[in-house]
Structure 1
Protein backbone atom coordinates (compact mmCIF):
# COMPACT_ATOMS: atom_id res chain seq x y z
CA UNK A 1 0.00 0.00 0.00
CA UNK A 2 1.33 3.45 -0.93
CA UNK A 3 2.58 5.64 1.89
CA UNK A 4 0.15 8.42 2.81
CA UNK A 5 1.34 11.79 1.42
CA UNK A 6 2.08 14.42 4.06
CA UNK A 7 -0.73 16.74 2.91
CA UNK A 8 -3.28 14.00 3.74
CA UNK A 9 -1.69 13.02 7.05
CA UNK A 10 -2.49 14.37 10.54
CA UNK A 11 0.73 16.43 10.36
CA UNK A 12 -0.19 17.98 7.01
CA UNK A 13 -2.10 21.12 6.06
CA UNK A 14 -4.42 20.66 3.07
CA UNK A 15 -5.22 24.14 1.78
CA UNK A 16 -5.92 23.71 -1.95
CA UNK A 17 -7.24 21.01 -4.29
CA UNK A 18 -6.23 21.34 -7.93
CA UNK A 19 -8.11 19.38 -10.57
CA UNK A 20 -7.01 18.38 -14.01
CA UNK A 21 -9.85 18.85 -16.51
CA UNK A 22 -10.02 16.13 -19.16
CA UNK A 23 -10.73 12.69 -17.77
CA UNK A 24 -11.20 14.05 -14.24
CA UNK A 25 -14.02 16.57 -14.52
CA UNK A 26 -15.10 16.35 -18.14
CA UNK A 27 -15.16 13.24 -20.30
CA UNK A 28 -13.65 14.91 -23.35
CA UNK A 29 -10.30 13.18 -23.61
CA UNK A 30 -11.55 10.45 -25.93
CA UNK A 31 -12.96 13.03 -28.34
CA UNK A 32 -9.75 15.08 -28.44
CA UNK A 33 -7.55 12.00 -28.81
CA UNK A 34 -9.77 10.70 -31.63
CA UNK A 35 -9.40 13.99 -33.51
CA UNK A 36 -5.64 13.80 -32.99
CA UNK A 37 -5.64 10.24 -34.35
CA UNK A 38 -7.54 11.38 -37.45
CA UNK A 39 -4.86 14.00 -38.09
CA UNK A 40 -2.10 11.49 -37.47
CA UNK A 41 -3.58 9.05 -40.00
CA UNK A 42 -3.96 11.84 -42.53
CA UNK A 43 -0.16 12.14 -42.73
CA UNK A 44 0.61 8.43 -42.49
CA UNK A 45 0.82 7.56 -38.77
CA UNK A 46 -1.17 4.42 -38.03
CA UNK A 47 -3.22 5.23 -34.91
CA UNK A 48 -6.63 3.49 -34.87
CA UNK A 49 -9.37 5.29 -32.95
CA UNK A 50 -9.38 2.52 -30.34
CA UNK A 51 -5.71 3.26 -29.60
CA UNK A 52 -6.05 7.06 -29.62
CA UNK A 53 -6.38 7.58 -25.86
CA UNK A 54 -3.48 5.25 -25.11
CA UNK A 55 -1.24 7.11 -27.56
CA UNK A 56 -2.22 10.75 -26.92
CA UNK A 57 -3.67 10.84 -23.37
CA UNK A 58 -2.42 13.78 -21.31
CA UNK A 59 -0.31 15.23 -24.12
CA UNK A 60 -0.38 18.90 -25.07
CA UNK A 61 -0.82 19.77 -28.73
CA UNK A 62 2.84 20.75 -29.33
CA UNK A 63 3.85 17.34 -27.98
CA UNK A 64 1.33 15.58 -30.21
CA UNK A 65 2.61 17.54 -33.20
CA UNK A 66 6.19 16.59 -32.40
CA UNK A 67 5.27 12.91 -32.07
CA UNK A 68 3.42 12.83 -35.39
CA UNK A 69 6.23 14.65 -37.18
CA UNK A 70 8.85 12.33 -35.69
CA UNK A 71 6.87 9.23 -36.67
CA UNK A 72 5.99 10.31 -40.21
CA UNK A 73 8.58 12.86 -41.31
CA UNK A 74 5.68 15.20 -42.17
CA UNK A 75 5.87 18.92 -41.45
CA UNK A 76 2.55 19.97 -39.96
CA UNK A 77 3.44 23.65 -39.84
CA UNK A 78 3.48 26.45 -37.28
CA UNK A 79 -0.31 26.84 -37.32
CA UNK A 80 -1.16 23.18 -36.72
CA UNK A 81 -1.69 23.41 -32.95
CA UNK A 82 -3.94 26.46 -33.31
CA UNK A 83 -5.97 24.71 -36.01
CA UNK A 84 -6.38 21.65 -33.78
CA UNK A 85 -7.37 23.77 -30.82
CA UNK A 86 -10.19 25.28 -32.91
CA UNK A 87 -11.33 21.78 -33.87
CA UNK A 88 -11.36 20.78 -30.20
CA UNK A 89 -13.46 23.82 -29.25
CA UNK A 90 -16.01 23.05 -31.98
CA UNK A 91 -16.19 19.44 -30.77
CA UNK A 92 -16.67 20.56 -27.16
CA UNK A 93 -19.53 22.87 -28.12
CA UNK A 94 -21.24 20.00 -29.92
CA UNK A 95 -21.36 18.14 -26.65
CA UNK A 96 -19.24 16.50 -23.99
CA UNK A 97 -20.24 14.63 -20.85
CA UNK A 98 -19.27 15.19 -17.22
CA UNK A 99 -17.25 12.42 -15.62
CA UNK A 100 -19.54 10.14 -13.64
CA UNK A 101 -19.93 11.36 -10.06
CA UNK A 102 -18.38 14.79 -10.63
CA UNK A 103 -21.31 16.88 -9.34
CA UNK A 104 -21.64 14.96 -6.07
CA UNK A 105 -17.88 15.07 -5.57
CA UNK A 106 -17.57 18.81 -6.17
CA UNK A 107 -20.58 19.61 -3.99
CA UNK A 108 -19.03 17.57 -1.17
CA UNK A 109 -15.67 19.32 -1.50
CA UNK A 110 -17.41 22.69 -1.59
CA UNK A 111 -19.18 21.92 1.71
CA UNK A 112 -15.83 21.10 3.31
CA UNK A 113 -14.62 24.61 2.50
CA UNK A 114 -11.39 23.60 0.75
CA UNK A 115 -10.52 26.01 -2.11
CA UNK A 116 -10.36 24.45 -5.58
CA UNK A 117 -8.68 25.35 -8.86
CA UNK A 118 -8.27 23.75 -12.30
CA UNK A 119 -4.91 23.33 -14.04
CA UNK A 120 -5.06 21.75 -17.48
CA UNK A 121 -3.18 21.38 -20.76
CA UNK A 122 -6.39 22.53 -22.48
CA UNK A 123 -6.75 26.15 -23.57
CA UNK A 124 -8.96 28.55 -21.64
CA UNK A 125 -11.30 28.66 -24.64
CA UNK A 126 -11.64 24.87 -24.64
CA UNK A 127 -12.31 24.75 -20.91
CA UNK A 128 -14.90 27.53 -21.14
CA UNK A 129 -16.76 25.44 -23.72
CA UNK A 130 -16.44 22.21 -21.71
CA UNK A 131 -17.53 23.72 -18.41
CA UNK A 132 -20.40 25.62 -20.00
CA UNK A 133 -21.89 22.56 -21.71
CA UNK A 134 -21.52 20.44 -18.55
CA UNK A 135 -22.71 23.16 -16.13
CA UNK A 136 -19.50 23.08 -14.10
CA UNK A 137 -18.44 26.69 -14.58
CA UNK A 138 -19.84 27.95 -11.26
CA UNK A 139 -17.46 25.71 -9.31
CA UNK A 140 -14.34 27.27 -10.86
CA UNK A 141 -15.13 30.89 -11.77
CA UNK A 142 -11.86 32.82 -12.19
CA UNK A 143 -9.95 29.82 -10.82
CA UNK A 144 -8.84 28.13 -14.05
CA UNK A 145 -5.25 27.87 -15.30
CA UNK A 146 -4.25 26.82 -18.82
CA UNK A 147 -0.82 25.36 -19.45
CA UNK A 148 -1.57 25.71 -23.16
CA UNK A 149 -2.08 29.47 -22.82
CA UNK A 150 1.01 29.75 -20.60
CA UNK A 151 3.02 28.00 -23.31
CA UNK A 152 4.45 25.55 -20.74
CA UNK A 153 2.45 22.31 -20.95
CA UNK A 154 2.56 19.38 -18.58
CA UNK A 155 4.64 17.37 -17.77
CA UNK A 156 6.30 20.67 -16.85
CA UNK A 157 5.02 21.62 -13.36
CA UNK A 158 4.51 25.34 -14.06
CA UNK A 159 0.72 25.35 -14.35
CA UNK A 160 0.37 23.65 -10.96
CA UNK A 161 2.87 26.02 -9.38
CA UNK A 162 0.93 28.95 -10.86
CA UNK A 163 -2.30 27.70 -9.29
CA UNK A 164 -0.64 27.43 -5.86
CA UNK A 165 0.92 30.88 -6.24
CA UNK A 166 -2.43 32.45 -7.11
CA UNK A 167 -3.98 30.83 -4.04
CA UNK A 168 -1.10 31.96 -1.84
CA UNK A 169 -0.22 28.48 -0.60
CA UNK A 170 2.85 26.28 -0.81
CA UNK A 171 3.03 23.23 -3.12
CA UNK A 172 3.23 20.99 -0.03
CA UNK A 173 -0.25 22.23 0.96
CA UNK A 174 -1.82 21.19 -2.36
CA UNK A 175 -3.52 18.00 -3.48
CA UNK A 176 -3.90 17.28 -7.21
CA UNK A 177 -6.46 15.00 -8.85
CA UNK A 178 -5.16 13.64 -12.16
CA UNK A 179 -5.80 10.78 -14.57
CA UNK A 180 -2.73 10.79 -16.83
CA UNK A 181 0.92 9.94 -16.18
CA UNK A 182 1.87 13.23 -17.83
CA UNK A 183 -0.24 15.23 -15.38
CA UNK A 184 0.86 13.18 -12.40
CA UNK A 185 4.50 13.83 -13.27
CA UNK A 186 3.76 17.56 -13.38
CA UNK A 187 2.12 17.42 -9.96
CA UNK A 188 4.90 15.40 -8.33
CA UNK A 189 7.59 17.60 -9.89
CA UNK A 190 5.74 20.62 -8.48
CA UNK A 191 6.16 19.12 -5.01
CA UNK A 192 2.48 18.26 -4.65
CA UNK A 193 0.68 15.09 -3.64
CA UNK A 194 -1.36 13.49 -6.41
CA UNK A 195 -4.40 11.23 -6.41
CA UNK A 196 -4.80 9.38 -9.71
CA UNK A 197 -8.22 8.42 -11.03
CA UNK A 198 -7.63 5.05 -12.70
CA UNK A 199 -9.92 2.07 -13.37
CA UNK A 200 -9.15 -1.11 -11.47
CA UNK A 201 -6.44 -3.10 -13.21
CA UNK A 202 -4.78 -0.10 -14.88
CA UNK A 203 -1.39 0.51 -13.21
CA UNK A 204 -0.21 3.87 -11.88
CA UNK A 205 3.39 5.12 -11.76
CA UNK A 206 5.40 3.87 -8.79
CA UNK A 207 6.37 7.32 -7.56
CA UNK A 208 6.30 8.87 -4.10
CA UNK A 209 3.34 11.11 -3.24
CA UNK A 210 0.94 9.15 -5.50
CA UNK A 211 -2.32 7.49 -4.44
CA UNK A 212 -5.08 6.02 -6.61
CA UNK A 213 -8.85 5.91 -6.66
CA UNK A 214 -11.01 3.93 -9.06
CA UNK A 215 -14.06 6.24 -9.06
CA UNK A 216 -14.73 9.89 -8.22
CA UNK A 217 -16.99 8.80 -5.35
CA UNK A 218 -13.84 7.82 -3.45
CA UNK A 219 -12.22 11.25 -3.58
CA UNK A 220 -14.34 13.33 -1.19
CA UNK A 221 -14.15 10.73 1.62
CA UNK A 222 -10.34 10.74 1.26
CA UNK A 223 -10.30 14.52 1.66
CA UNK A 224 -12.80 14.46 4.52
CA UNK A 225 -10.71 11.95 6.47
CA UNK A 226 -7.58 14.07 6.02
CA UNK A 227 -9.34 17.21 7.22
CA UNK A 228 -10.71 15.43 10.28
CA UNK A 229 -7.25 14.12 11.14
CA UNK A 230 -5.91 17.65 10.81
CA UNK A 231 -8.55 18.93 13.24
CA UNK A 232 -10.64 20.79 10.69
Structure 2
Protein backbone atom coordinates (compact mmCIF):
# COMPACT_ATOMS: atom_id res chain seq x y z
CA UNK A 1 0.00 0.00 0.00
CA UNK A 2 1.40 3.38 -0.96
CA UNK A 3 0.03 6.85 -1.40
CA UNK A 4 -0.89 9.77 0.81
CA UNK A 5 -3.78 10.66 3.10
CA UNK A 6 -5.06 14.24 3.16
CA UNK A 7 -7.30 15.04 6.13
CA UNK A 8 -9.66 17.93 6.52
CA UNK A 9 -9.78 19.07 10.15
CA UNK A 10 -13.04 20.65 11.32
CA UNK A 11 -15.81 18.09 11.51
CA UNK A 12 -13.45 15.39 10.27
CA UNK A 13 -10.83 14.87 12.98
CA UNK A 14 -12.13 17.25 15.63
CA UNK A 15 -15.75 17.84 16.59
CA UNK A 16 -15.52 21.58 16.04
CA UNK A 17 -18.49 22.32 13.79
CA UNK A 18 -20.99 22.68 16.68
CA UNK A 19 -18.60 25.06 18.45
CA UNK A 20 -18.04 27.21 15.37
CA UNK A 21 -21.78 27.58 14.86
CA UNK A 22 -22.45 28.07 18.58
CA UNK A 23 -20.10 31.07 18.51
CA UNK A 24 -22.45 32.79 16.05
CA UNK A 25 -25.43 32.14 18.30
CA UNK A 26 -23.52 33.43 21.33
CA UNK A 27 -22.59 36.68 19.61
CA UNK A 28 -25.80 37.19 17.62
CA UNK A 29 -28.80 36.12 19.72
CA UNK A 30 -31.14 37.47 17.04
CA UNK A 31 -30.27 34.47 14.86
CA UNK A 32 -33.34 32.30 15.22
CA UNK A 33 -32.07 29.26 13.33
CA UNK A 34 -31.23 26.15 15.40
CA UNK A 35 -27.66 25.00 15.83
CA UNK A 36 -27.98 21.93 13.61
CA UNK A 37 -29.33 24.03 10.74
CA UNK A 38 -26.44 26.48 11.02
CA UNK A 39 -24.01 23.56 10.93
CA UNK A 40 -25.56 22.16 7.77
CA UNK A 41 -25.69 25.59 6.16
CA UNK A 42 -22.10 26.63 6.92
CA UNK A 43 -20.18 23.33 6.92
CA UNK A 44 -16.95 23.58 4.95
CA UNK A 45 -17.61 27.07 3.60
CA UNK A 46 -15.27 30.06 3.48
CA UNK A 47 -15.79 32.39 6.45
CA UNK A 48 -16.29 35.50 4.34
CA UNK A 49 -19.18 33.80 2.55
CA UNK A 50 -20.65 32.68 5.88
CA UNK A 51 -20.51 36.21 7.26
CA UNK A 52 -22.27 37.53 4.18
CA UNK A 53 -24.95 34.86 4.64
CA UNK A 54 -25.37 35.85 8.29
CA UNK A 55 -25.92 39.47 7.32
CA UNK A 56 -28.79 38.29 5.13
CA UNK A 57 -30.19 36.19 7.98
CA UNK A 58 -30.16 39.02 10.53
CA UNK A 59 -31.04 41.75 8.04
CA UNK A 60 -28.21 44.12 8.88
CA UNK A 61 -24.46 44.55 8.33
CA UNK A 62 -22.12 43.02 10.87
CA UNK A 63 -19.81 45.34 12.83
CA UNK A 64 -16.37 45.85 11.31
CA UNK A 65 -14.71 44.01 14.19
CA UNK A 66 -17.14 41.06 14.18
CA UNK A 67 -14.69 38.61 12.61
CA UNK A 68 -12.16 39.38 15.36
CA UNK A 69 -14.80 38.85 18.06
CA UNK A 70 -16.00 35.68 16.37
CA UNK A 71 -12.54 34.14 16.19
CA UNK A 72 -11.93 35.03 19.83
CA UNK A 73 -15.19 33.34 20.82
CA UNK A 74 -14.32 30.23 18.81
CA UNK A 75 -10.88 30.11 20.44
CA UNK A 76 -12.50 30.26 23.89
CA UNK A 77 -14.89 27.43 23.00
CA UNK A 78 -12.01 25.39 21.61
CA UNK A 79 -10.05 25.94 24.84
CA UNK A 80 -12.90 24.65 26.98
CA UNK A 81 -14.85 22.18 24.84
CA UNK A 82 -12.99 20.96 21.74
CA UNK A 83 -12.71 17.19 21.44
CA UNK A 84 -11.55 14.69 18.84
CA UNK A 85 -13.99 12.19 17.44
CA UNK A 86 -13.82 8.82 19.19
CA UNK A 87 -11.11 6.52 17.88
CA UNK A 88 -9.19 9.14 15.88
CA UNK A 89 -5.86 8.82 17.71
CA UNK A 90 -6.03 5.03 17.64
CA UNK A 91 -6.80 5.00 13.92
CA UNK A 92 -4.04 7.46 13.03
CA UNK A 93 -1.46 5.55 15.09
CA UNK A 94 -2.06 2.46 12.94
CA UNK A 95 -1.63 4.22 9.59
CA UNK A 96 1.78 3.90 7.93
CA UNK A 97 1.02 6.17 4.97
CA UNK A 98 2.22 9.80 4.90
CA UNK A 99 -0.51 12.09 6.24
CA UNK A 100 -1.21 15.81 6.14
CA UNK A 101 -3.92 18.35 6.93
CA UNK A 102 -5.58 20.50 4.24
CA UNK A 103 -8.10 22.84 5.84
CA UNK A 104 -9.98 26.00 4.95
CA UNK A 105 -9.13 27.48 8.36
CA UNK A 106 -6.21 29.79 9.15
CA UNK A 107 -2.99 27.96 9.94
CA UNK A 108 -2.86 29.28 13.52
CA UNK A 109 -6.38 27.90 14.17
CA UNK A 110 -5.43 24.53 12.67
CA UNK A 111 -2.26 24.23 14.75
CA UNK A 112 -4.06 25.33 17.91
CA UNK A 113 -6.77 22.71 17.43
CA UNK A 114 -4.21 19.97 16.76
CA UNK A 115 -2.21 20.90 19.85
CA UNK A 116 -5.27 21.10 22.11
CA UNK A 117 -6.42 17.66 21.01
CA UNK A 118 -2.89 16.14 21.01
CA UNK A 119 -3.08 15.29 17.30
CA UNK A 120 -0.14 17.47 16.23
CA UNK A 121 2.26 14.53 16.66
CA UNK A 122 0.66 12.77 13.70
CA UNK A 123 1.09 15.65 11.25
CA UNK A 124 4.05 17.76 12.35
CA UNK A 125 4.49 20.66 9.92
CA UNK A 126 2.48 18.96 7.16
CA UNK A 127 -0.35 21.49 7.46
CA UNK A 128 -1.82 23.29 4.45
CA UNK A 129 -4.27 26.17 4.84
CA UNK A 130 -6.51 27.87 2.31
CA UNK A 131 -5.31 31.17 3.77
CA UNK A 132 -1.72 30.33 2.79
CA UNK A 133 -2.49 29.46 -0.83
CA UNK A 134 -5.49 31.75 -1.40
CA UNK A 135 -7.74 28.91 -2.58
CA UNK A 136 -10.90 27.61 -0.93
CA UNK A 137 -12.93 24.46 -1.47
CA UNK A 138 -14.74 23.42 -3.67
CA UNK A 139 -11.82 24.60 -5.82
CA UNK A 140 -9.41 21.62 -5.92
CA UNK A 141 -6.35 23.85 -5.63
CA UNK A 142 -5.72 23.33 -1.91
CA UNK A 143 -5.71 19.54 -2.27
CA UNK A 144 -3.51 19.73 -5.37
CA UNK A 145 -1.09 21.97 -3.47
CA UNK A 146 -0.98 19.48 -0.61
CA UNK A 147 -0.29 16.62 -3.03
CA UNK A 148 2.61 18.53 -4.61
CA UNK A 149 4.09 19.32 -1.21
CA UNK A 150 3.71 15.68 -0.16
CA UNK A 151 5.28 14.59 -3.48
CA UNK A 152 2.37 12.30 -4.26
CA UNK A 153 0.39 12.09 -7.51
CA UNK A 154 -3.26 13.11 -7.07
CA UNK A 155 -4.46 9.68 -8.18
CA UNK A 156 -2.55 8.16 -5.25
CA UNK A 157 -4.06 10.56 -2.70
CA UNK A 158 -7.08 9.81 -0.53
CA UNK A 159 -8.92 12.72 1.05
CA UNK A 160 -10.85 12.34 4.31
CA UNK A 161 -13.63 14.95 4.41
CA UNK A 162 -16.94 15.73 6.10
CA UNK A 163 -18.36 18.49 3.88
CA UNK A 164 -19.92 18.43 0.45
CA UNK A 165 -17.65 21.25 -0.75
CA UNK A 166 -14.63 19.23 0.40
CA UNK A 167 -15.83 16.09 -1.33
CA UNK A 168 -16.36 18.06 -4.54
CA UNK A 169 -12.87 19.55 -4.29
CA UNK A 170 -11.28 16.13 -3.81
CA UNK A 171 -13.12 14.63 -6.76
CA UNK A 172 -12.22 17.61 -8.95
CA UNK A 173 -8.57 17.06 -7.97
CA UNK A 174 -8.76 13.48 -9.25
CA UNK A 175 -8.32 12.01 -5.78
CA UNK A 176 -10.05 9.24 -3.88
CA UNK A 177 -12.33 10.55 -1.15
CA UNK A 178 -13.90 9.13 1.98
CA UNK A 179 -16.70 11.12 3.59
CA UNK A 180 -16.90 10.93 7.37
CA UNK A 181 -20.14 11.52 9.24
CA UNK A 182 -20.77 10.23 12.78
CA UNK A 183 -24.48 10.13 11.93
CA UNK A 184 -24.84 7.87 8.90
CA UNK A 185 -26.24 9.86 5.98
CA UNK A 186 -26.49 9.28 2.22
CA UNK A 187 -23.04 9.41 0.57
CA UNK A 188 -21.29 8.73 3.91
CA UNK A 189 -18.24 6.49 3.52
CA UNK A 190 -17.71 5.78 7.21
CA UNK A 191 -19.31 6.81 10.50
CA UNK A 192 -16.68 5.59 12.98
CA UNK A 193 -12.91 5.71 12.94
CA UNK A 194 -12.70 2.02 13.67
CA UNK A 195 -13.94 1.60 10.08
CA UNK A 196 -11.21 3.75 8.51
CA UNK A 197 -8.55 1.08 8.00
CA UNK A 198 -11.04 -1.17 6.20
CA UNK A 199 -12.21 1.66 3.95
CA UNK A 200 -8.64 2.60 3.06
CA UNK A 201 -7.74 -1.01 2.32
CA UNK A 202 -10.65 -1.29 -0.13
CA UNK A 203 -9.48 1.86 -1.94
CA UNK A 204 -5.92 0.67 -2.38
CA UNK A 205 -6.96 -2.84 -3.37
CA UNK A 206 -9.07 -1.41 -6.21
CA UNK A 207 -6.49 1.16 -7.32
Compute the displacement of 1:151 (Å): 3.4
Correspondence 1:121-200 to 2 at 5 A: 121-199=104-182
Residue of structure 1 in register with 2:199 after alignment? 222
Unmatched tracts of structure 1, length 5 or more? 1-12, 205-210
Matched residue SS, 2:189: strand
CA shift, 1:85, in A, is: 2.5
* Distance across 2 between alignment mates of 1:153 and 1:77: 24
Aligned residue runs from structure 1 range 76-95, under 5 A: 76=62, 79-95=65-81
TM-score normalised per structure 1: 0.79
Separation in 2, partners of 1:92, 1:76: 23
Aligned partner of 1:19 in structure 2 is 7
CA distance in 1, matches of 2:89, 2:184: 25
For 1:226 and 1:54, locate their aligned partners in 2 and report how far apart those are by CA, in whole Å.
Answer: 28
Give the total of aligned pairs.
207
CA RMSD, 1 decimal = 2.3
* TM-superposed deviation, 1:180: 1.2
How far is 1:26 from its partner? Answer: 0.9
> For residues 17 and 52 of structure 1, do their structure 2 counterparts lie closer, same or farther at Cα, with a shift above 3 Å needed?
same
- In structure 2, stretches of 5+ residues that fail to align are none
What secondary structure, in the 3-state scheme, does the structure 2 residue paired with 1:169 have? coil
Alignment of 1:29-108 (within 5 A): 29-39=17-27, 41-42=28-29, 44-76=30-62, 79-108=65-94
